[in-house]
Amino acid sequence: MARISEWLIDPDDTPERTIEKLLTITEVLMRQVEQASGERGAAYEQFRRAALLEDRVRQRTLDLEYALRLLGETNSRLTTAKRTAERAQRDLANAIEAVQEGFALFDETDTLVLHNSRFCRDLPDVRRGLRAGMALSEYVDLVGYSASLSLPADQTREEWVKERMQRHHDRQVFNVALTGDRWLQVSSQRINGGGTVMLQTDVTDIIRLERIERGKMLDNQARIIRATLEHISQGVCIVDVNLRLVGWNKRLAQLLDMPPASLRQGAGFDSLLRHFGNDSIYQEHVSFEALAIWARQARPRPPQSFEIRRASGVILDGYARETPEGGFVISFSDVTRERLAVQAMLRANASLEARVAARTLDLEAALEDAERANASRVRFVAAASHDLLQPLSAAKLFIASARDDDPSPLVRSTLGKALNALVSVEGILHALLDISRLEVGESAVEIVPVRLVPLLAQLTDEFAPVAAGKGLRLTIVPSRLTVASDPAYLRRILQNLIGNAIRYTRTGRVLVGARRSGGKIRIEVHDTGPGIAPEDQQLIFREFHRLNGSASASEGMGLGLAIVQRACALLNHRLSLTSEPGRGTSFSVEMALSAPDSMLSCPGLIVTGADEPRDGSNRIALLVGSAPDLRRELGMQLERRNITAWEVGNGDEALALLEEIGIVPDFYLVDQDLDAGAGCIETVRALHEGWGERPTRILTVEPACGSLAESGIECLRKPVEDAALDAFIAGAASFSPPLSPAR
């Protein structure tokens, strides 16, 4: 073996040599095993099998010992649990037995599991039939047919059993009456797992005590009721279901003039009813017979109200109402004073209505007088303004002409101041005329689409020099929007707001612009003036009210904002004011947005560029007017613009002049106040029909062209302003007349 070991294990051999040696040894061993496969092999196999069987027996023995040990432990725990359950059951039985009330436990299928000795103790026949496992319905049947159960006279035992099962499902607490005036209170409570615990409590002593207390209470209540009946001012009688008198007070006898002896306990209602009908008058819808029928009719009776008038003049108000027991109560109240007071009030009311009617007639007459006086005042103001504006216009034209023709600077300055004074007076007269017409609502308005482009451009031309003269920056933002308004009044509103902003702003700027707001347009006028205190923001819209207390003609008379407010109300435009002292003021006028394609011509809103010349290029103008001064001065204004002016007194003279010379003027200016011949509209139409369409303006003092608005002829407001006249002349320059007049 040592030699084999030395041969087998040689550290100096390579791994390949070592593997070769191992393969040789393996081959030799296998050959020896094959040679020894005889008897020695069979004995060896038996020995090997016996060794394996012994190992298996030893393992099974160990497994059996482990199982027996587990079984012993399990039996020990089961014995302990059984003892615990038995002890818990004894404890539960002792616990429910210690309960002072009847106790029973039903499982989730309403089957009786256990109960104590007090359960159904007062129902011996039921107690004898109790057993574990009985159904709840069987238990209820035993109770329902028990001899110890006391039922009301109007209830059968079948009905009681049905009601008892329903109470179990509803989990109600209720009392059960037993024979011998005994009472049990039964309560069913649901527990976890679906079972039911039923408790029975003896409440006999409690109910008997309640009866005693209730009797005492009823006696006390009866005394209180009697004291109350005697205390109240009404007469009261109480009648039971058998129509017997059971209660009353002394006031009843006093009101019905009854002898006290007739009121006694148990007296019939008929004897009392006779006193209701003696020398009495009932109201129409309730008679004495109807009240007697109501008292005898079957239940239920509706409440009944009636009134009795006694021969002595006493008036009683009666009210009858049924009681829960089937009787009724009748009360009587003395309403004599109230009825007399109502009658007196009715008479006073009639007298008052007559006086009110008379006063109303007087007020209507006074109102008519006031309206007539106001209309007369308006007519007077309009007539006076018109009569004053004519010579005032002529005076302005004369002074303007003299100022332009006189080379002396001193004289030109003096005439300029005089002209400014006349312009201020003219503005005041126009404001008075406007406020008078707006006050009585006589101004005619025509809501049409108005383009803001020409309107804002014209306002820019009008107020830009005024703002520049005060050192202010005026910005009127152009807008291509179209609004629904009256063009003349809208221009007047914006003129007053912009002029007011420029007048009160000393430094800074005035900003005017249009802003969309949903389907509305809001034209806003902002300034950097002194602002308006909140307490003064409503006062500024009053006539002749100015915050600085001044009322000089040069700065107006405080009518501008009053005109704005009334004109906005007339046009249904919303006027808003936002201001803060020291930070300026903002006015806004909100109106509806109009479609541009529905735009109509707007009188007087013709825009001229700043660079348009005032040269008329030797055009011809026909002036038709009955006032010579107005014609002459207007003619002088036209001649300074290189326009030849033909002046005639009326329409007939105008037609005759054109017929005589055969030349058609370039435009017509016709005064509204023609004294003789055809009116201004008829004159214009005759000129257009006889000599062709030409640019035409009617000269008027009305702010919105008045009755002329429906004619479609545009107007110029007198006194004619230079800017308005220049705008008309510039617009007329672009007119292309037909080649031959239409005659």
Residues 694, 664 contacting (CB under 8 angstroms): yes
* Distance (Å, whole) CA 118 – CA 101: 6
What average pLDDT does the segment 345-365 reach? 84
307: Cβ contacts below 8 Å, ≥ 6 apart:
282, 283, 286, 315, 316, 317, 318, 335
For the segment 489-542, what is each residue's pLDDT rounded down to a tens digit? 888 888 888 988 898 888 888 999 888 877 788 899 999 888 887 777 666 766
Tell me, what's the pLDDT at 364? 82
359: Cβ contacts below 8 Å, ≥ 6 apart:
none
The number of C-alpha atoms within 13 Å of 277 and in the hemisphere containing its C-beta is: 13
Tell me, what's the pLDDT at 105? 87
Tell me, what's the pLDDT at 2? 46
For the segment 316-329, what is each residue's pLDDT rounded down to a tens digit? 888 888 888 888 88
Identify which has the larger pLDDT, 588 or 609.
588
User: Which region among 145-149, 175-179, 369-373, 427-431 has the lowest average model confidence (pLDDT)?
Assistant: 427-431
Tell me, what's the pLDDT at 600? 41
> In the numeric block, which tokens belong to residue 132?
């574990």
What average pLDDT does the segment 197-219 reach? 78
Q: What is the DSSP string of 222-284?
A: HHHHHHHHHHSSSEEEEE-TTSBEEEE-HHHHHHHT--GGG--TT-BHHHHHHHHHTTEEE-T
For a pLDDT cut of 70, what percent of the chain falls above it?
75
Tell me, what's the pLDDT at 424? 58
What average pLDDT does the segment 569-578 reach? 86
Q: Cis peptide leading into 11, omega within 30 of 0?
A: no
Tell me, what's the pLDDT at 384? 57
- Residue 255, pLDDT > 50, answer yes
> In the numeric block, which tokens belong to residue 391?
């010579």
For the segment 380-403, what is each residue's pLDDT rounded down to a tens digit? 665 555 556 666 666 666 676 666
- Residue 650, pLDDT > 70, answer yes
* Distance (Å, whole) CA 352 – CA 342: 15
* Distance (Å, whole) CA 384 – CA 376: 12
For the segment 457-500, what is each residue's pLDDT rounded down to a tens digit? 888 888 888 888 888 989 888 888 889 888 878 888 888 889 88
Tell me, what's the pLDDT at 723? 75
Backbone φ and ψ for 370, nearest 5 degrees, come out as -65, -40
Tell me, what's the pLDDT at 609? 35
Tell me, what's the pLDDT at 68? 83
pTM above 0.85, yes or no: no
> What is the Cα 427 distance to its own chain's centre?
47
State the chain's mean pLDDT as an integer.
Answer: 76
Tell me, what's the pLDDT at 676? 55
What average pLDDT does the segment 715-743 reach? 71
What average pLDDT does the segment 113-130 reach? 85
Tell me, what's the pLDDT at 49? 76
What average pLDDT does the segment 22-34 reach? 71
Q: 682: closest CA among 624, 631, 723? A: 624
Tell me, what's the pLDDT at 677? 54
Tell me, what's the pLDDT at 654? 85
> What is the Cα 362 distance to its own chain's centre?
43
Identify which has the larger pLDDT, 567 or 281.
567
Cα Rg of the chain (Å, integer):
61
Please, which pLDDT band fits residue 378 given cuts at 50, 70 and 90?
low
* Distance (Å, whole) CA 536 – CA 577: 11
What average pLDDT does the segment 429-447 reach? 61
- Residue 11, pLDDT > 50, answer yes
Q: 119: closest CA among 107, 137, 109, 106? A: 106
Q: In what order do the strands lie in the sheet with 667-671?
A: 644-648, 620-624, 667-671, 696-700, 715-717
Q: 490: closest CA among 589, 598, 592, 597? A: 589
Tell me, what's the pLDDT at 708? 65
Tell me, what's the pLDDT at 742? 43
Identify which has the larger pLDDT, 595 or 721.
721
* Distance (Å, whole) CA 660 – CA 655: 9
Residues 651, 674 contacting (CB under 8 angstroms): yes
What average pLDDT does the segment 225-241 reach? 81
- Residue 5, pLDDT > 80, answer no
Tell me, what's the pLDDT at 270? 77
Tell me, what's the pLDDT at 607? 37
Tell me, what's the pLDDT at 312? 72
Check residue 719 and report its DSSP letter: S
Check residue 508 and report its DSSP letter: S
What average pLDDT does the segment 168-194 reach? 83
**SS3 (DSSP) at 743:** coil
Tell me, what's the pLDDT at 739? 45
Tell me, what's the pLDDT at 559? 61
Contacts made by residues 562-566, CB under 8 angstroms, sequence distance 24+: 562/435, 563/431, 563/434, 563/435, 563/438, 563/492, 563/493, 563/496, 564/493, 564/496, 564/497, 565/541, 566/435, 566/438, 566/439
Tell me, what's the pLDDT at 597? 44
Residues 216, 296 contacting (CB under 8 angstroms): no
Secondary structure element (H or E) that encloses residue 319, with its range: strand 315-322
Residues 667, 694 contacting (CB under 8 angstroms): yes
What average pLDDT does the segment 114-118 reach? 84
Please, which pLDDT band fits residue 678 given cuts at 50, 70 and 90?
low
